[in-house]
Structure 1
Amino acid sequence: MSTVRARLSPQESRSAALEAARALLIEAGPQAVTLKAVAARIGRTHANLLHHFGSASELQAELGRYLSERITAAIGDAVVRARQGEADPREIVDRTFDAFGREGAGALAAWMILSGNRDALNPVLEAIHDLVDHLGAGHEDRPVHETTLWLVLAALGDSLLGESMAAALGLPPGRARDLARDHLLASMGLAAEPHRA
């Protein structure tokens, strides 16, 4: 019995592949994001994905771009709403840590670096740079670039080693996120809440 495949436009096919790649990244890590696995997930052939992406490293680069666009939009929204008093500034930290942890951006970045595919990080870095420039416009009195630097590095480190390092130091899981929230609130002149032991 043969299955009938729905005819997708090239853009729809790329979008489906990127969403499948994101799901594989979250479920099984960056090593699982292969052309063959993504093709199987969306009912396409390896050759079809090769046509759209060229190689596994190009698929990973596109996945990085796809994730960074989603992530920077969500973080940018949280920053704007926090500035307007419509959201708790802690949401900025939570969205950043979630992006690198639960959404898999940290594992993907590490995988790209360790596999020698550093150029694939350029779209991610450009998206962050564009967001920071946008958020910094009109707020030159605030250390937007410096805040972004420490927050991204903290979230990246936490996604890769945070839980293990906290356990090794006898600290509760999520302590790095708590510290990042405190640091952000302090940089905004707001009081941090006491932490549970």
Structure 2
Amino acid sequence: MLLNPNQQQQLYDFTQSSIFVIATECMPIGSEAVLAIPGEKLGEGQPSVVLYVQTLEKLPTAATGEQVDPPAGMATVKLGKDGAPTITIPKGDPPVETKIGQLKQGDGATVTENDLVTVQYRGVKWSDGKEFDATWSNAAFPAQFPATGVVTGFQKALIGQKVGSQVLAEIPPKDGYGASDGNELQKETLVFVVDIIGTTPLEK
């Protein structure tokens, strides 16, 4: 298998894949490498592969945009020294429509529905303020996925925003997991803080 250097970029956790450590360790940003891997090293019956790796840039670990006035009436957010957000749910009833607010305004590329986005995020439940998912809980290693590969409310927090922005989203069940029968978050209003740190157009 030969990977074309023009294929979509992918973000890999080097701490979880020894292959990528071997291919890129100690290489300066902007380098390219080709690694041939015998099939026997990948497991019985596996084909041999040729891996092409290009290191493009070192991404930040948090949004780098200019801080703006927080949106009134929404959850409040306090950032730690590493940029990790702590979210405090406001008093009152949860919103019936998705609400989006900016905490930082980036000046990078605009995220489109055809993009692969790289983000940091923390999500908590409106009902009790408890975290249910966060990249910050995984050694602050960012996540990467298609902009349309997440629930509707999360998409609204991404599409149209610029790289470098930090976005606050309050998402009622209808734009979250309301249609997912049996999901533990089916009836929950979700609150996310999303740091948009990279975007790459997907091949059409």
Q: Which interval holds the TM-score relative to the shorter structure?
A: under 0.3
- Indicate the structure with greater strand content: 2
Give TM-score scaled by structure 2 length. Answer: 0.25
Greater helix content: 1
**Structure of greater relative contact order (alpha carbons < 8 Å, 6+ residues apart):** 2
- TM-score relative to the length of structure 1: 0.26
